[in-house]
Chain A
């Protein structure tokens, strides 16, 4: 049972354009959502997070949007840079659940020159 889903295994965008990565979840108990970036042979690196009491959080080039009614969140990267090329994981946690993270399967982003 995949509670966090990233339906696009890969995404290719041109440098300078917007990258939009999507994530859907099924567990209504999730109340905190995070995005991680992962390079090969490294551990995931925390990017940005959002609480369920908000619908948007912005940090520099990264913005996360949360639509609770649709159980959907997205990560926008503007402008995209070649160094952004990596696998992006969406993760979710529930208060009272020890904050353990449930991850999606990831989206491979490639930013082309």
Chain B
């Protein structure tokens, strides 16, 4: 059984650069979520996909952020023109939507972004 994986685990970049993160969900899960966590806070919702469709974006997701999930499998989160305020842990989670309404989301290990 492979859980949710994220790459890279750590990313250090200079302000103004673009970065891209990848998430591979649990294979039978049709929903994929992105969250961001800063120090001392809980994870905050950014966006989610059902299969390949992006169904909701948080107002936290500025126009510098874009996420994709081609073919409903892995997902990428890109941040353009990074700012120091983008420094955070970016978490990916997946879940399986069932008629019985199971809501548990399973998280990956996260990508730690540091913008210098």
Contacts and interface: CB of A to CB of B under 8 A. Distances in A.
B91 interface: yes
A100 B48 contact: yes
Interface string A38-74: 0001111110010000000000000000000000000
A100 B45 contact: yes
A41 B48 CA distance: 23
B104 A46 contact: yes
A36 B104 CA distance: 10
Interface in B41-65: 41-45, 48, 50, 55-56
B103 A34 contact: yes
B115 to A, nearest CB: 19
Contacts of B25: none
B4 A43 contact: yes
A89 B42 contact: yes
Nearest to B46: A100
Contacts of B4: 43
B85 interface: no
B31 A99 contact: yes
- Greatest chain A CB density within 10 A among B91, B105, B112 is at B105
B74 interface: no
Contact of A100 (B6, B56, B108): B56
Nearest to A106: B42
